[in-house]
Amino acid sequence: MTVRTRFAPSPTGLLHLGSVRTALFTWAYSRHHQGVAVLRIEDTDLERSTPESVKAIFDGLAWCGIDFDEGPYFQMQRMPRYKEVIQQLLAEGKAYLCYTSREELDQMRAEMEARGEKPRYDRRWRPEPGKTLPLIPAGIEPVVRFRNPIDGVVAWDDAVKGRIEISNTELDDLIIARPDGTPTYNFCVVVDDHDMAITHVIRGDDHVNNTPRQINILQALGAAIPVYGHLPLIFNADGSKMSKRKDPVSVVDYQDLGILPEAFLNYLARLGWGHGDEEVFTVAQFIEWFDLANVSPSPARFDREKMLWINQQHIKAADNARLAELTRPFLAKLGIEAGPALVEVIALLKERVTNLVDLAAQASYFFRHDAAPAELAAQHLNEEGRARLARLRTALTAIDSWDVPTLAAAIKAFVAAEGVKMPLVGMPLRAAVCGTTQTPSIDAVLALLGKAEVLARLERTLA
Ligand code: GLU
């Protein structure tokens, strides 16, 4: 059997991190089993679906490097097929027309609630042997209802949550087509999962209530029942629900925070899944290790610090040239166009940051000379500091081979000659040349900046 999974997002907003986690697990499961991953866009909610959201899904998946083998299929393009299956179920007596009006449904509900019952449709239009159906009222377009089994249970072994059993008495005769003939959500999902020969439905826990209804319809279609695995929801670190307004929840938010795609996937993988003590891993390793059996059914908690730590590990491991290209847009946001030396700059700085925003900020002084802020200047570029820098400038001017060992030796000799401790030279030097004291080893910074630039910056500061 070939494993076939699907990721079936609704294009109704930005691509949410929970959706990316679902996409990742779906995709990794099929990759692990040399199966097929299908992408299906569930765009039947015409009021909420937008082309921008479809684009956000494609862009977000591309950024993450999650590539599908089949699709994208668009549900709106499959309408004739859904209608065909509705006709088939009607013809087979597995679905029926229901003319109950809105008012009648409201009345039904009120009466049942008054009797202390759970409100439900009373199946008044459901044909049964020997039953007389109501007269078809004028002026009402019927809905189509699925003839749900009355007795027994729907049961499945959820690959994440374990055995689940729902009594059919809990399930109404689901509306599968609206009065205008358009199919409803659960029905389209079922027809698609069947037609697309999906073997494993991996999706968020918020869909677990749909599963018994979908299984009943699949059974009516004579279809094979896929394996279902419902992934735990993702909450904030404090256990509160993630909010689209307050919390970064979309892929774009994480791009803006300077998270690497491989780190994003690494972190998402750990939300509800684990492989021993492994914290930092590649996508290839994740695919190798991934199994639904290791997904936890309990809700996962999003931990921003942990994500940044994982990002830091991936930044350290990343190729410098690639990192430089990824950092360029963040430098551009600071108004900085970096030259080719950016790769060396990145090599020098990458151990010191947890994200690309900070990397760009720290790289900025290599490409632009900003004067030290007043407070820093008062501390390090006071009279004493400036006098010392003037003497240091003379020593640096005399250097012929401008490289790290020579610079290190020259600074060391200067410190000895001044009879002070290293910071009394290093800090004014950093403040003057870099506009900040937060830099890596100053000899390495000076070497990269080049002699002319360093002397020009000292000149400007001391002027
Ligand atoms: N379209 C649904 C969603 O975006 C997913 C449906 C499914 O996976 O069955 O939540």
Angle at which helix 79-91 crosses helix 185-195, to 10 degrees, equals 100
- Residues 134, 97 share a domain: yes
Residue 117 lies in a domain: yes
Residue 326 lies in a domain: yes
Tell me: cis bond preceding 226? Omega within 30 of 0 counts. Answer: no
CB atoms closer than 10 angstroms to residue 280: 17
Q: CATH number, domain at 142?
A: 3.90.800.10
Residue 448 lies in a domain: yes
The catalytic residues are 244
Residue 216 lies in a domain: no
d(CA 270, CA 349): 27
Give 88's contacts (C-beta < 8 A, 6+ positions apart): none
- Residues 57, 42 share a domain: yes
- Residues 109, 171 share a domain: yes
Which atom of ligand 1 sits closest to the CA of residue 22? 8
What's the burial of 243, exposed, middle or buried (CB within 10 Å: 0-12/13-18/19+)? exposed
pLDDT of residue 294: 94
Residue 157 lies in a domain: yes
- CA of 10 from ligand 1 middle (Å) equals 6
Amino acid at 9: P
- CA of 423 from ligand 1 middle (Å) equals 59
CB atoms closer than 10 angstroms to residue 174: 20
* Pocket test residue of 184, 207, 233 for ligand 1, highest count of atoms within 8 A of CB: 207
- Residues 170, 87 share a domain: yes
User: For residues 198, 203, 207 and 211, what is the CA-based torsion angle, rounded to 10 degrees?
Assistant: 30
- Residues 341, 310 share a domain: no
- The whole domain housing 345 covers 318-364
Residue 210 lies in a domain: no
- CA of 9 from ligand 1 middle (Å) equals 5
Residue 226 lies in a domain: no
Which atom of ligand 1 sits closest to the CA of residue 9? 4
Q: Half-sphere exposure (CA, 13 Å, Cβ side) for 205?
A: 15
Give 266's contacts (C-beta < 8 A, 6+ positions apart): 280, 281, 282, 283, 286, 310, 314
- Residues 430, 397 share a domain: yes
Q: CATH number, domain at 445?
A: 1.10.10.350
- Which of 343, 364, 385 lies at the terminal end of a domain, its last residue? 364
pLDDT of residue 254: 96
Give 360's contacts (C-beta < 8 A, 6+ positions apart): 258, 327, 330, 331, 333, 334, 336
Q: CATH number, domain at 264?
A: 3.40.50.620
List of E strands, 159-262 = 162-167, 175-177, 200-204, 227-231, 234-236
d(CA 145, CA 153): 19
Whole-model pTM over 0.75: yes
- CA of 180 from ligand 1 middle (Å) equals 23
Q: CATH number, domain at 347?
A: 1.10.8
Ligand 1 pocket: which residues have CB below 6 Å?
8-10, 42, 189, 203, 207
- Residues 331, 297 share a domain: no
Give 454's contacts (C-beta < 8 A, 6+ positions apart): 396, 433, 446
- Residues 312, 270 share a domain: yes
- CA of 189 from ligand 1 middle (Å) equals 8
Structure letter (DSSP) for residue 249: -
- Residues 56, 20 share a domain: yes
Which atom of ligand 1 sits closest to the CA of residue 19? 4
- Residues 298, 329 share a domain: no
* Pocket test residue of 17, 42, 215, 231 for ligand 1, highest count of atoms within 8 A of CB: 42
Residue bearing the CA closest to ligand 1, atom 6: 8
Which atom of ligand 1 sits closest to the CA of residue 203? 8
Please list the rounded mean pLDDT of every run of 10 residues in the chain (463 residues): 97 94 98 98 95 97 98 98 98 98 93 92 96 94 97 97 96 96 97 98 96 98 98 89 78 96 98 95 98 94 95 98 97 92 96 97 96 96 96 97 97 97 97 97 97 97 94
d(CA 396, CA 407): 8
- Which of 177, 193, 222 lies at the terminal end of a domain, its last residue? 177
- Residues 85, 171 share a domain: yes
Residue 172 lies in a domain: yes
- The domain tally of the chain equals 4
- Residues 153, 85 share a domain: yes
